[in-house]
Amino acid sequence: MDVGLNTLYNIGSNYTIKLNEKEVLVVEDDETRVQKVSDSEKLEKEIEKEKELKESKNSSKPEELSTEEEELVKNLQARDAEVKAHEAAHQAAGGGMTGGASFSYQQGPDGKMYAIGGEVSISIPSGSTPQETISNARQAVAAAMAPGNPSGQDHAVAASARAMEIKAQQQLARERQEETTGLDTYANQTNSEDEKDSQSSLDISA
């Protein structure tokens, strides 16, 4: 079979054989096929490059903070720890009277959120007896004043609990007084009835 000049034979996915002008077989890259592969590789490299760039930005962000920003982050971290410890102290001393803690947050220059304020609800149930109410009030005072640096609101809650305790103590005192008075009245009534009975018997025997 005669082979003409520049006749192409496909021998694979990436290469072809052809005859040059001197009719010598030469193996060359198939440019049309290699181009397709290059486009795909190029796209993958661009995606990988963008990914590395994002990771680089994220990892280097804290290092890009200015001195003032770093100081602010430190202050926010300290405040976050203080607020959370404060509310945890309320909950630990609450004895079941405290609810869950809720916090208000501020975003720092590093992109993180820090607690800058918080609160824990304290409910003071009235007891079925004055003694129980007194116990509940004292527990509430302990919960309100548990943190090392009670806030103005903490002092207000403690004052309300103490007022409740005083009222319960007054009620308990009244009940005890009434109980004592009742016993005295009962004793007087019993003595009076005995005297009447004694007088009646004397009259009858006469």
Give dist(CA 143, CA 89) in Å, integer. Answer: 8
Same domain, 161 and 203: yes
Instruction: Look at residue 34 and tell me if it is in a domain.
Output: yes
Q: CB 154: neighbour CB atoms within 10 A? A: 20
Query: Residue 11, SS3?
Result: coil
Residues 69 and 56 in one domain: no
The reply to whether 187 falls in a domain is yes
Higher-confidence residue of 50 and 151: namely 151
Distance in angstroms (rounded) separating the CA atoms of residues 180 and 125: 28
Q: Tally the domains of the chain.
A: 3
Are 196 and 148 in the same domain? Answer: yes
Asked if residue 3 is part of any domain, the answer here is no
Q: How confident is the model at residue 21 (pLDDT cuts 50, 70, 90)?
A: low
Co-location of 116 and 143 in the same domain: no
Average the pLDDT over each of 11-25, 131-145, 146-160 and give the range with the smallest value: 11-25
Domain boundary pick from 88, 104, 123: 123
pLDDT, tens digit, for every residue of 145-160? 999 999 999 999 999 9
Domain encompassing residue 174: 124-206
pLDDT of residue 193: 54
Instruction: Based on the fold, state whether residues 163 and 95 are members of the same structural domain.
Output: no
* Final residue belonging to a domain, choices 100, 123, 146: 123
129 shares its domain with 108: no
105 strand-pairing partners: 115
Asked if residue 3 has pLDDT above 60, the reply is: no
Instruction: Give the pLDDT of residue 181.
Output: 81
Does 114 lie in the same domain as 129?
Answer: no
Is 2 inside any structural domain?
A: no
Domain boundary at 74, 90, 123, which? Answer: 123
Tell me, yes or no, whether 117 and 130 share the same domain: no
Confidence of residue 190 (pLDDT cuts 50, 70, 90): low
pLDDT tens digit string along 95-123?
A: 889 999 999 999 999 999 999 999 999 98
Q: Is residue 1 part of a domain?
A: no
Residues 83, 145: Cα–Cα separation, whole Å: 15
108 & 181 share domain: no
